[in-house]
Structure 1
Amino acid sequence: MEITQLLPRLYQVDLDFGQAYLWRDGDELTLVDTGIPGSGEMIAAAVGSLGLPRSAVRRIVITHGHEDHAGSAAEIRSWDGAPVHVHSADAPVVRGERPREEPVISDFERPYWERVTALGITAMTIPPSTVDVVLTGGEELPFGDGARVLPIPGHTDGSIAIHLPHHGVLFAGDTVACLPRPA
């Protein structure tokens, strides 16, 4: 695990696979995405490196229902009951009520997808988590001086971005995977 301060209140946590982000408001943290299943201890170490206890995580926001974004939601929620926020279209996946949809892989993404498949990430399942807050888009969440939820379906039907307009920050999950490719 490596933690990098990107802005005075924003930290990137590099996990065994992928990243999660911590936004700090005083002694409270918002966790954006949770990594693959089993990433909880690395995130706990990142929280500790900020001089805070696990209970400082006050909310968990999932950008979409794939293993590398929602895989440790249940584990981290179990620390102190931080509510899990997920878009309504991906909430059944995070709850374990249905499997995630298979992604559409472009030629551009194929080498990356083959790497992910070789690591076994695609064979993982998301341990079911309670979804405390179902999002639809347009909500304002109480962190980062007003975090706006933007629905951005494409990568999954429930993909969201979180915009912190006062800080010029956009958490976009895997949206770049869905952008049109240059000819």
Structure 2
Amino acid sequence: MRLAPSIHRIGNDIVASYLIVTSEGITLVDAGLPGMYADLGRELGSLGRTLDDIRGVVLTHGDSDHVGFAERLRREHDVPVFVHAADAERARGGDKPKNPVGPMRLGPLLRFAAFGLRKGMRPRWLTEVREVTDGDTLDLPGRPLIVGMPGHSPGSIAVYSDAVRAVFVGDALTTRHVLTGRTGPGPAPFTDDPAEALASLDRLAGLDADWVLPGHGAAFHGSPSKAAEAVRAATRG
């Protein structure tokens, strides 16, 4: 799905990954669920590109619905996978906190479960990663900048590309709550430290972008500061 000339999405409002498309190649932000690998191939085909055009995968964090097919790309196409050092073990399948589920509604829960069953909820965990940290600018298409956003997980990040005027936020915020169906910017479920996640939104305020792109929900077409304020408003109820 084309969002802008250099930004494409695979997946949907339940689980999404993104492509930064440039003449030098493609950077993939997150790798969704394993079955989205076929969606990636179709999207690349529509662009006249192949898997060999992908120069790197940047994971916003190490949860299963973001790791997805990353290891397959790494093994079969030698694509490097980047993850924050604090989430490297998580991306390898290490233990994570058993967070409270919180409120849910049956319809959205069933849609989330059905999509997971169709696309596969069990990733092939990574066996090799390249660790990044806050402030790193990666030598990848779009020159992605790593912005530390701890809270959802210790190594959660946003990926900012001035070249495409977008910030990819993973689960630092969501625009569709997968368990309740609530739409609009809000906090993500399954968050390790909700207070820290809320505080991390301050990191978005200084970013000059036209798009805020979450791992769950519709693209937010507006400034990161407006998206962050909308999340805070949602938490105030």
State the TM bucket, normalised to the shorter chain: 0.7 to 0.9
> Does the 8 A contact of 1:17 with 1:35 survive in 2?
no
Once the 2 structures are TM-superposed, how far is the Cα of residue 147 of structure 1 from its aligned partner? 1.6
Classify the secondary structure of the residue corresponding to 1:126.
coil
Classify the secondary structure of the residue corresponding to 1:90.
helix
Whole-angstrom CA distance in 1 between matches of 2:115 and 2:95: 16
Is structure 2 residue 101 aligned with structure 1 residue 111?
no
Is structure 2 residue 20 aligned with structure 1 residue 23?
yes
Q: Which residue of 2 aligns with 1:8?
A: 5
Q: Which residue of 1 aligns with 2:133?
A: 136
> Does the 8 A contact of 1:17 with 1:68 survive in 2?
no
Q: Which residue of 1 aligns with 2:203?
A: none
Q: Which residue of 2 aligns with 1:102?
A: 98
Q: Which residue of 1 aligns with 2:236?
A: 182
Once the 2 structures are TM-superposed, how far is the Cα of residue 104 of structure 1 from its aligned partner? 4.2
- Residues 22-171 of structure 1 correspond to what in structure 2 (within 5 A)? 22-96=19-93, 98-107=94-103, 110-111=104-105, 114-115=109-110, 118-119=113-114, 121=116, 124-171=121-168
Alignment root-mean-square deviation, CA: 2.7
Whole-angstrom CA distance in 1 between matches of 2:50 and 2:154: 34
> What is the one-letter code of the residue matched to 1:125?
R
Whole-angstrom CA distance in 2 between matches of 1:161 and 1:16: 18
In structure 2, the CA distance between the partners of 1:116 and 1:93, relative to structure 1 (3 Å rule), is farther
Identity value in percent: 30
Task: Specify which structure has the higher proportion of helix.
Answer: 2
> What is the one-letter code of the residue matched to 1:66?
D
> Does the 8 A contact of 1:15 with 1:39 survive in 2?
no
Once the 2 structures are TM-superposed, how far is the Cα of residue 42 of structure 1 from its aligned partner? 1.6
> Does the 8 A contact of 1:137 with 1:151 survive in 2?
yes
State the TM-score, normalized to the length of structure 1. Answer: 0.83
Whole-angstrom CA distance in 2 between matches of 1:54 and 1:47: 7
Could you tell me which runs of 5 or more consecutive residues in structure 2 were left unpaired when the two chains were aligned.
Answer: 174-187, 189-196, 199-231
Greater mean alpha carbon deviation, residues 158-167 or residues 123-132: 123-132
> Does the 8 A contact of 1:85 with 1:131 survive in 2?
no
> Does the 8 A contact of 1:15 with 1:42 survive in 2?
no
Classify the secondary structure of the residue corresponding to 2:48.
coil
Q: Which residue of 1 aligns with 2:221?
A: none
> Does the 8 A contact of 1:63 with 1:86 survive in 2?
yes
> What is the one-letter code of the residue matched to 1:111?
R
Once the 2 structures are TM-superposed, how far is the Cα of residue 61 of structure 1 from its aligned partner? 0.7
Classify the secondary structure of the residue corresponding to 2:35.
coil
Classify the secondary structure of the residue corresponding to 1:82.
coil
Once the 2 structures are TM-superposed, how far is the Cα of residue 16 of structure 1 from its aligned partner? 9.5
Equivalences, count: 177
Classify the secondary structure of the residue corresponding to 2:236.
coil
> What is the one-letter code of the residue matched to 2:105?
P
Could you tell me which runs of 5 or more consecutive residues in structure 1 were left unpaired when the two chains were aligned.
Answer: none
Whole-angstrom CA distance in 1 between matches of 2:111 and 2:147: 27
